[in-house]
Each structure stands twice: as C-alpha cells, then as structure tokens.
Amino acid sequence: QQDIYRIKGLIAHKREEIETQLQKVIDATKEVSKLEKLEEKQLEEYRYASQKEQEQIIEEFVTNGSSNGGNTP
C-alpha cells in the first residue's frame, strides 16, 4: 500500500517536471521566433539600404556622364 502512495507521489513529481520542461520549450520556441523575425527585419533593412546605395551610385554615374558631354573616361 505504501509503495502505491510512493509511486503516485513520484508520478505527480515527474508530471510537474514534465510541465516545467514543456514550459521551457515553449518559451525557447517563442524566443527563437522573435529572433527569426528580427533577423528577417534586419535583412530587409540591409537590402533596402543596399538598393538605395546602388541607386545613388547609378545616379552619380549618370549625372557625371551627362555633365561631361556623355564622354565617360
């Protein structure tokens, strides 16, 4: 009889441990999701800045090319 109560107590304790670990997994999954969204946003910002830089270079090239009569060195 005592063994049954002891085993039930162990089962209850293990269930609590499982719940604790499950919550840790859930929290970690949420954190990973946040980091992935941040990474995506930063990549988007980088691409936008890179595109603007390329546009600026092209604009300067066209401006310089037209200012010297279309003759590029």
pLDDT tens sequence across 11-63: 999 999 999 999 999 999 999 999 999 999 999 999 999 999 999 999 999 99
Which residue has 């090319």 as its token pair?
65
pLDDT value of position 68: 61
How confident is residue 6, by pLDDT bands cut at 50, 70 and 90? very high
SS3 24: helix
Whether the CB-CB separation of 37 and 30 falls below 8 Å is answered with: no
- Name residues whose C-beta falls within 8 Å of residue 72's C-beta, 6 or more positions apart in sequence: 64, 65
How confident is residue 65, by pLDDT bands cut at 50, 70 and 90? confident
Burial string for 40-72 (b: 16+ CB within 10 Å, else e) reads eeeeeeeeeeeeeeeeeeeeeeeeeeeeeeeee
> What's the rounded mean pLDDT across residues 59-70?
77
This prediction has a pTM of 0.62
